[in-house]
Structure 1
Amino acid sequence: VEPTNTIALPIFMFAGGAIGNLIAIIVLSVSRQERKSSAFYTLVCGLAVTDLLGTCLASPLTIANYLDQNVLKNSHVCEFQSFLLLFFGLTGLSIIFAMAAERYLAICCPYTYQRWGVDRRFAQKFLISIYISHIVFCCLPMIGMAGSLLQSSSTWCFIDWNTHKPRAAAYSALYGVVSLLLILGTIVLNLAVSGALLLMRQRTVQRPVTRASVRERWRALSSAAETQMMAVLVMTSAVVLACSAPLVVSQIRVFANCFMLKHDPRADLAAIRIASVNPILDPWIYILLRRSLFRRLLSLSRGSSSTRSSSSSTPQRNLKNSVSRSIKDAQK
């Protein structure tokens, strides 16, 4: 296939990722509630900015290579694109893990959350530390820890993860293991927080309520902050992990080289393409699950619930009135 025939796909992905993340950043910055919120939305905004930077830096190189296949044959350009893919892939996973950890501390360990002073500034400092540490780690291939290689499809560069050189194999394995640990940690923290919230909701439902039963229970069950944050976290985690997992699996295959298993360049290309979909899908989660829309959905469900309760209570009131009238007649 000629590159000019397939250039529409990277252009479409570039436009989708850039426009979507720009809209998401505007939505997050304009909304008052999100701006006043704690560390969680600072991390969400950090992830949107990270996705936007990754799209704007990496996609133009891919598009340029479709126009001229000699672009990525330049060793410096190849190393730079390899760095971008390493850095933004690992940074996205780290921010998702930080979001899950923040929710875990806020809900399961509130005393520690307050003692550590986890707020907006804390999240900003944490994002800066993620960026600095990951820049250092992902620059190691440029100083000889591992080599960057134009992959067999000639459309993208990445570290030579199928080499038998000890240092390069060790770096590739370390990168894959760190990514895998971030994925597993995010899953465990999300399960722990979801379980804690379900337990809290169950206790709230079982608690006896004397007045305005339906309304008070709905207010307790729909504490919009935690519920909406968890919805954003779970949906974003699902998208990021689903898109990142194939690439991480491909990186872990460096261990398989020791057993002389076959290298599959098509699987690697499919993995990087799936990972490229991630920054396109992420922003629409923040846009669609913003708090104002979430509250509308909750108010609609509250309204339907109160309508049902009022309609079911009407025959009960009529029955009570008829019984009381019959009792009065008997007394007369």
Structure 2
Amino acid sequence: MESLNITHRSVSMNETLVQHSQATTFDTAIALPIFMFAGGAIGNIIAIIVLSVSRQERKSSAFYTLVCGLAVTDLLGTCLASPLTIANYMDKTVLMVQHVCEFHSFLLLFFGLTGLSIICTMAAERYMAICCPYTYQRWGVDRRFAQKFLFFIYICNIFFCCLPMMGMSKSELQPSRTWCFIDWGTEEPVAAAYTVLYGSVSLLLILGTILLNLAVCGALLLMRQRTVQRPVTRASVRDRWRALSSAAETQMMAVLVMTSAVVLACSAPLVVRVFANCFILNNDPNADLAAIRIAAVNPILDPWIYILLRRSLFRKVLKLSRQGSSTRSTSSPTLQTSLFYPVIVRDSHVITQLMCNANIMTQLPATVKFTSYDTESPRQT
């Protein structure tokens, strides 16, 4: 009898340990989607507020309208897809309902493709503004134009991502039982064609974004090199000051490059898995789950780029960098002054007027002083 009691106690203890282990695993598993949901929602709300309180001239530009559209898209994707994932962790039968599974698959398809589309549009807007300014002005690319184009992107992507619900493909619960996606390993010609089409469109958007960013960065470097090498005259001093004080343009490019890098890095693994499951038939559920989790990190990282690279902070960083460079060059102040002001240094009124027109009062090097006129006036008299 004693041995039976001991055996019964050991079995009970083992069952308790197993239940405790399962409860710990469940808590750890559900903590990840909850954390991602909270991080994405809070970050995007803060980013939208930061963009909303910016200056009117920035809010009226097409670029920042697209940035705000991307933040709203990330917020909607987080608030619609994450609750379904959390509910499925609490009740494993949620995504087993076919209509719920199809809706979850549509959300992942739509918001993934829409994010890539907006990023590519942002790169195209910067390319037109810098490399094709006449076309940019003729088309009237402004806030209203960007809003219309965002609406166009939404309509096209909604129609394209609804095709699986219309019978062109089918959505299925993935082996991990935590998310739904299109049946990318099917041998049906129509369904396989849709999978290839989705992957191809995503790949084209990625390549287009990369090429446009490279073209814009190359054009800016070429313009800066030509401006610096140009001899300084009264006619070219305004262009030189604008080139030397393009903080707003530099900030736009920093936001674009950083956001593009994050979106492409988060979206590329899922695109790779689409082609791998379609052509290579490499059935790897762990790799698929890792790819969709990396894609889900994108809405969490994007808003902090807008928050950290806002214009006030960006100006402080530029100011600190200029102070550091000016400190290193204090040994030759005369050379630097003659480099920037070889002709118009004798007329402080002209200098002030030019700088006000170019909006670079805060961009002056630390070694350039307005007292140059005062120091030279005694010698003239």
Same fold, TM exceeding 0.5?
A: yes
Using the TM superposition, name which of 306-315 and 12-21 deviates more.
Answer: 306-315
My pick for the range that moved more, 165-174 or 247-256, is 247-256
Q: Per-residue deviation at 1:294?
A: 1.1
SS at match of 1:69: coil
Structure 2 partner of 1:17: 40
Alpha-carbon RMSD across the aligned residues, in angstroms, is 2.2
Larger Rg computed on CA atoms: 2
- Once residues 147 and 48 of structure 2 are traced to their aligned partners in structure 1, the CA distance between those partners, rounded to angstroms, is 16
Residues 145-224 of structure 1 mapped to structure 2, 5 A cutoff: 145-209=168-232, 220-224=243-247
Q: CA deviation at 1:292?
A: 1.2
Match of 2:155 in 1: 132
Within the candidate set 62, 68, 75, 1:52 is matched to 75
2:317 is aligned to 297
Distance of aligned partners of 1:305 and 1:4 in 2 relative to their CA distance in 1, 3 Å threshold: closer
Can you list the C-alpha shifts for 1:61-98, whole angstroms capped at 9, x where unaligned?
Answer: 00001111111111111000000000000000000000
The separation in 2 between residues aligned to 1:74 and 1:149, in whole angstroms, is 10
Partner of 1:312: 332
Question: Please, which of 263, 281, 284 is the counterpart of residue 264 of structure 1?
Answer: 284
Question: Using the alignment, how far apart are the partners of 2:336 and 2:151 within structure 1?
Answer: 61
Task: Classify 1:309/1:4 alpha carbon distance in 2 versus 1 (closer, same or farther; 3 Å).
Answer: closer
What CA distance in whole angstroms lies between the structure 1 residues aligned with 2:56 and 2:143? 13
1:245 counterpart SS class: helix
1:143: Cα distance to partner? 1.2
The 3-state SS of whatever aligns with 1:107 is: helix
**Closer, same or farther in 2 for the Cα pair 1:17/1:134, shift >3 Å?**
same
1:246–1:271 contact (8 Å) kept in structure 2: yes
SS in 2 for 1:208: coil
Match of 2:49 among 26, 36, 40: 26
Q: CA deviation at 1:293?
A: 1.1
Higher relative contact order (Cα pairs below 8 Å, separated by 6+ residues): 1
Q: Deviations over 1:161-182 (max 9, x none)?
A: 1100111111111000000000
Unaligned runs of 5+ in 2: 1-21, 338-381
Question: Aligned residue for 2:365?
Answer: none
Name the counterpart of 2:369: none
Partners of 1:254 and 1:264 in 2: CA distance: 8
Q: Summarize deviations over 1:231-257 as a string: whole Å, max 9, x none.
A: 000000000000000001111224415
SS of equivalent to 2:200: helix
Quote the residue 1:322 is aligned against.
none
Please state if 1:274 is matched with 2:297: no
- SS of residue paired to 2:74: helix
| Higher alpha-carbon deviation: 218-227 or 287-296 | 218-227
Alpha-carbon spacing, 1:172–1:32, altered in 2? closer, same or farther (3 Å): same
Counterparts of residues 231-246 of structure 1 (less than 5 Å):
231-246=254-269
Q: How far apart are residue 36 of structure 1 and its match?
A: 3.8
Confirm or deny that 1:104 pairs with 2:127.
yes
1:42/1:120 contact within 8 Å kept: yes
Task: Output the TM-score relative to the length of structure 1.
Answer: 0.89
The percentage of aligned residue pairs carrying the same residue is: 81
* Cα pair 1:24 1:287 within 8 Å, conserved: yes
Question: 2:62 matched to 1:42?
Answer: no
* TM-fit CA distance, 1:37: 4.3
Q: Which residue number corresponds to residue 83 of structure 1?
A: 106
Asked whether the equivalents of residues 149 and 159 of structure 1 are also in contact (C-alpha less than 8 Å), the reply is: yes
1:7 corresponds to 2:30 = yes
Note the C-alpha offset of 1:210: 7.0
Q: CA distance change for structure 1 residues 165 and 112 in 2, over 3 Å: closer, same or farther?
A: same
Alignment: residue pair count: 312
Q: Distance in 1 between matches of 2:198 and 2:272?
A: 11
Counterpart Cα distance in 1 of 2:290 and 2:336: 62
1:221 Cα deviation (Å)? 3.0
Aligned to 2:3: none
